[in-house]
Amino acid sequence: MAEDWQPLTHAILKESLKDIELIVGGGGFAFTKLDCSNKELNNLGNKVQTYKELKHIVLSENKVEDLSAVMQLPHLLSLKADGNQVKDLDCVANAELPWCQRLDLSKNKLTKLPSLTPLHRLRFANIAENQIESLEGFGDHPVLEVLELQGNQLTSLVGMGCLQSLRELVLESNQLTSLEGLNAPTLTRLALGSNPLESLKFIAGAPQCSELDLKDCKLSSEDIQMPELRRLADDMPVLKRIILAGNPLVEAFGENPRAEVLARVPQVQMVEDEAVNDEDREASVTRAQELVVLKEEAEKAAREEEERLAAEAAEAEAAKAAEAEGGG
């Protein structure tokens, strides 16, 4: 019941403090972990910031809206505040968390994601299952390695900035229709499943990606050449694994989907959970040759149609001119 929710009192603090360790620099011992998960908290009060030796704070499954009280802890390494009611991160702008490396704000009420550069040693950020619609204002982050943004409302990546150390980017279950803004030069895993993506334009922003998850997207087989898959051959030269289940183009793959993928993205070594074998590669060579022939035939047909239309237009123009001359 709502009336049961309470602030973080001194009594709750005392029962939630754990892990006594030697104070950094010596001079005694102190508690280094605060675990207030499932304590029916609605705010953090004004006492927690006095525990300057805290290294880990867990606030999971409460109803906390404001994290300002834990933004001035000089030794904090991790902050886990998933399952709360945080609506904004304005407090991060003035944060003094020089050693914080892990931040979990999943399952909150965030509608935007501001810059996290004040947390200049942050390596792992989980902002999944919020209500974020845009990354405008997020900008660069030089050391962030893992960014989880699944279950939000993003339509593009504009504003994300350059994430030069990022290894893993999880964007499943958003509303992405464009990858514009992707700039992660060292990214190795990109998860884009369950988005309405029809185009992979801008995917070159992750040139070192080796694992690409596109499950349940909207990649089409309308063009038998599947140009969005072909784009990966050049834009992701070290791609090793691709997941495509649930896309419309899969229905056109026939009996050997691995060969179909290889015919367009030859560097791939695994399709879904199955490794590519020699038989697949041989079949892909044959299929690639077939696709070349089909492309040439389609281009020839297009040229002939263009010539036919041009001839018809010329005849119509000539007839019109003759009619005008006769009328004169």
Q: Is 148 helix (H, G, I), strand (E, B) or coil?
A: strand
**How far apart are alpha carbons 106 and 60 in whole angstroms?**
10
- Mean pLDDT, range 129-134, rounded to an integer: 98
Determine phi and psi for 232, rounding to 5 degrees. Answer: -70, -30
Q: What pTM was estimated for this model as a whole?
A: 0.90
Q: Which pLDDT belongs to residue 203?
A: 98
**How far apart are alpha carbons 98 and 278 in whole angstroms?**
52
Among candidates 222, 152, 209, which has minimal Cα distance to 182?
209
The residues facing 20 across adjacent strands are: 31
Among candidates 166, 170, 118, which has minimal Cα distance to 145?
166
Kindly state the percentage of the chain with pLDDT values over 90: 82
Q: Which pLDDT belongs to residue 137?
A: 92
Residue pLDDT, tens place only, 199-236:
999 999 999 999 999 999 999 999 999 999 999 999 99
- Mean pLDDT, range 63-83, rounded to an integer: 97
In the chain, domain spans: 1-121
**How far apart are alpha carbons 106 and 95 in whole angstroms?**
19
Residue pLDDT, tens place only, 240-285:
999 999 999 999 998 899 999 999 999 999 999 999 999 999 999 9
Question: Residue 229's Cα: distance from chain center in Å?
Answer: 19
- Per the prediction, the chain carries an average pLDDT of 93
- The CATH number of the domain covering residues in 1-121: 3.80.10.10
**How far apart are alpha carbons 177 and 174 in whole angstroms?**
9
Among candidates 118, 11, 15, 97, which has minimal Cα distance to 54?
97
